[in-house]
Structure 1
Amino acid sequence: MRAVGVIAEYNPFHNGHAYQLKKARELSGANYCIAAISGDFVQRGGPAVFDKYTRTAMALESGADLVVELPPIFASSSAEDFASCGVALLDALGVVSHLCFGSESGNLEELHLWLIFLQKNQKNTSRYFANI
């Protein structure tokens, strides 16, 4: 069994999200698609456009097999905490083998270069971000 995880807000859920769910399953070869989404409050601390039940129903109708809620403390936190919690939550399920996420550029080569940079400079970047 293969499951792909998606971390999102779906605020509001739209056709691009439906497309992402479809492509996530397709590109990963996963049998199941699991979405970890924010609840009634989203990353910037404001209320979601639609409640979590409506957004969950939209995700399920558009290809997600399971939707789990990010705890509010992390869903309304920084992007780093939001993502870290989402990854931890999906990992804790014990079935997610792939992650799918959006990016500003869509450039995998650039993303890989940043990964290498962060790995090589983890000590310095951690110290820097701790002081922000």
Structure 2
Amino acid sequence: MSILGIVAEFNPFHNGHQYLINTVKEKYNFDAIVCVMSGNFTQRGEPAICNKWARAEMALNAGVDLVIELPFCFATRSAYYFAKGAIELLELTKVVTHIAFGSEMGDIEQLKDIARLLNEEPDDYKKLLKKQLNKGFSYPMARSIA
């Protein structure tokens, strides 16, 4: 069996999400799609536009077979912990064989470069980040400034 995992917030569910689901279903013919989705609060710690039940229903109506809620402790943290928690949940299902994601960028090589940079942050960057955090900036803002 071939089972696809998708990590999303669907806040709100839009045509890009539908496009991703349709494309992977048509192109790869997965037996099922499992989605890990944030609950009532998003990665930025803000309340979701629609509650988790409405967003899960939208995902199911769009072709997702199972929606698993990402626990609050991961859903409201930085992108690293959001992704880490979500991928670990997909792995814990013991059935997900592939993962897919959407990107506004549309350039996989540029995404790989960004991933490498984030995985191997230079010491100068780490110092700048710490300086901004010590000034009281939120983690996302401190990263942006650094």
Alpha carbons of 1:125 and 1:46: their partners in 2 closer, same or farther (altered >3 Å)? same
Structure 2 CA distance for aligned equivalents of residues 107 and 23 of structure 1: 17
After TM superposition, list the pairs within 5 Å mapping 1:68-79 onto structure 2: 68-79=68-79
**Are 1:100 and 2:96 counterparts?**
no
Structure 2 CA distance for aligned equivalents of residues 92 and 126 of structure 1: 32
**When the two structures are superposed, what TM-score results if normalisation uses the length of structure 1?**
0.84
In the alignment, what sits opposite 1:24? 24
Structure 1 CA distance for aligned equivalents of residues 126 and 72 of structure 2: 23
Cα deviation, residue 27, structure 1: 3.1
Structure 2 CA distance for aligned equivalents of residues 126 and 79 of structure 1: 18
Identity of counterpart residues, as a percentage? 41
Alpha carbons of 1:52 and 1:110: their partners in 2 closer, same or farther (altered >3 Å)? same
In the alignment, what sits opposite 1:8? 8
Matched-pair contact (CA < 8 Å) for 1:4–1:28: no
Alpha carbons of 1:50 and 1:114: their partners in 2 closer, same or farther (altered >3 Å)? closer
Structure 2 CA distance for aligned equivalents of residues 48 and 107 of structure 1: 28
**When the two structures are superposed, what TM-score results if normalisation uses the length of structure 2?**
0.76
Larger radius of gyration: 2
Structure 2 CA distance for aligned equivalents of residues 26 and 61 of structure 1: 16
Structure 2 CA distance for aligned equivalents of residues 11 and 19 of structure 1: 15
Runs (5+) with no aligned partner, structure 2: 131-146
In the alignment, what sits opposite 1:42? 42
SS in 2 for 1:125: coil
Listed one character per residue, the Cα deviations across residues 1-30 of structure 1 (whole Å, up to 9, x for unaligned) are 111111000001112211211112233331
Structure 2 CA distance for aligned equivalents of residues 89 and 67 of structure 1: 11
Cα deviation, residue 104, structure 1: 3.9
The residue identity in structure 1 corresponding to 2:18 is A
SS in 2 for 1:96: coil
CA RMSD, aligned part only? Answer: 2.3
Structure 1 CA distance for aligned equivalents of residues 66 and 122 of structure 2: 34
In the alignment, what sits opposite 1:125? 121
Cα deviation, residue 126, structure 1: 8.4
Matched-pair contact (CA < 8 Å) for 2:37–2:70: yes
Alpha carbons of 1:44 and 1:80: their partners in 2 closer, same or farther (altered >3 Å)? same
